[in-house]
């Protein structure tokens, strides 16, 4: 791979990272969102009300439960904690209050997600662009390992590939948590791969350092034989096993 192509690749990666930063800055709307199996506070604003009651909650599967419980007042705001959030999806809750002395029913929606966050378009693009950039780094390092003969280049490319793989497995694990809510196997698989690749950093680092030491000592021995007058090809041949 020539220098011109490498410059184009890194330029594209730089542009992609800039776009990734801009996309990540996008914020989701002000929808009420809670985490599955966690309690969520259901608010209602009414400055002229003397009472507000939480009457019903409708689940994502359209099951309706009757609550008929008063909401706690703080200033002009009322709220009630709701904890039965085992289903993922869109809920709605209705309240009954006396707005200016007139009984009025108001219904609002809230979302329950795996992590308490909404899966916005910006977040999806953030995942996809980030994963694409990391995959490009990983593939470049993998191809470079087979094409580069310099040990320093191989060492650098290996670690770029290894760290890229760590980041890839982490993103895939996070995506499985957000998108594949019913696929515990896939989530668990990427979780194991992430931890395995992180733990593998330490023994591989030791082996890499040991390999560099052996490689340098082999080169030193080859140079010593050449200085004694031995042909270069013969010197490398004699040290072939250590080379490997």
- Please say which residue of 59, 85, 113 terminates a domain: 113
Q: Which of 129, 104, 105, 126 is nearest to 117 (CA)?
A: 126
Alpha-carbon distance 193 to 182, whole Å? 19
Runs of H (alpha helix) within 97-150: 121-147
Apex CA 186: angle with CA 135 and CA 170, to 5°?
A: 40
Residues 99 and 44 in one domain: yes
H/E segment holding residue 108: strand 102-113
211 with 128, same domain?
yes
CA nearest neighbour of 86 among 70, 65, 106, 107: 65
**Pair (8, 49) in one structural domain:** no
* Judgement on whether residues 216 and 122 belong to the same structural domain of the protein: yes
In the prediction, which pLDDT does 79 show?
94
- Residue 195 has a pLDDT of 92
Domain around 78: 33-113
Specify whether 123 is located in the same domain as 97.
no
Backbone angles phi, psi at 168, to 5 degrees: -65, -45
Q: Are residues 124 and 193 in the same domain?
A: yes
State how many domains the chain has: 2
Tens place of pLDDT for every residue, the chain, 244 residues?
A: 444 555 455 545 555 555 544 444 444 445 788 988 899 999 999 999 999 999 999 999 999 999 999 999 988 899 999 999 988 889 999 999 999 989 999 999 999 887 787 766 777 788 888 888 899 889 988 888 888 877 678 778 888 889 999 999 998 888 887 776 556 778 788 889 999 999 988 888 888 777 777 777 777 777 777 777 777 777 666 666 554 4
On whether both 125 and 230 belong to a single domain, the answer is yes
Let me know whether 59 and 137 are in one domain: no
Looking at the structure, tell me whether residues 152 and 200 fall in a common domain. yes
Q: Does this model's pTM top 0.95?
A: no
Residues 221 and 132 occupy one common structural domain: yes
**According to the model, what pLDDT value does residue 43 have?**
94
> Are 206 and 184 within one domain?
yes
> For position 88, which CATH number holds?
2.60.40.10
Distance (Å, whole) CA 116 – CA 122: 16
3-state secondary structure of 94: strand
Straight-line distance from the first to the last Cα atom of the chain, in angstroms, rounded to the nearest whole number? 25
Boundary (domain end) residue, out of 113, 144, 177: 113
- Confidence at residue 31, expressed as pLDDT on a 0 to 100 scale: 72
Clarify whether residues 124 and 232 are in a common domain.
yes
Final residue belonging to a domain, choices 89, 113, 137: 113
């Amino acid at each position: 791979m020539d220098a011109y192509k490498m410059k184009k690749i890194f330029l594209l990666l730089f542009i992609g990272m800039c776009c990734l930063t801009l996309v990540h800055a996008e914020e989701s709307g002000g929808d009420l969102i809670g985490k599955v199996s966690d309690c969520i506070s259901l608010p209602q604003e009414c400055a002229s009300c003397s009472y507000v009651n939480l009457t019903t909650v409708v689940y994502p599967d359209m099951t309706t439960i009757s609550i008929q419980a008063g909401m706690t007042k703080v200033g002009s705001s009322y709220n009630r904690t709701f904890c039965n959030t085992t289903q993922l999806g869109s809920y709605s809750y209705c309240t009954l209050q006396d707005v200016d002395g007139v009984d009025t029913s108001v219904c609002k929606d809230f979302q329950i997600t795996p992590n308490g966050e909404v899966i916005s378009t910006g977040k999806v693009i953030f995942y996809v662009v980030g994963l694409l950039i990391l995959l490009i780094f990983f593939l470049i390092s993998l191809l470079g390992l087979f094409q580069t003969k310099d040990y320093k280049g191989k060492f650098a490319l290996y670690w770029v590939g290894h760290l890229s793989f760590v980041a890839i497995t982490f993103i895939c694990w996070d995506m499985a948590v957000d998108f594949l809510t019913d696929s515990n196997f896939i989530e668990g698989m990427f979780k194991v791969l992430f931890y395995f690749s992180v733990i593998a950093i330490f023994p591989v680092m030791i082996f890499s350092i040991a390999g560099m030491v052996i490689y340098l000592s082999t080169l030193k021995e080859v140079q010593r034989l050449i200085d004694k007058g031995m042909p270069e090809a013969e010197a490398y041949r004699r040290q072939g096993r250590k080379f490997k």
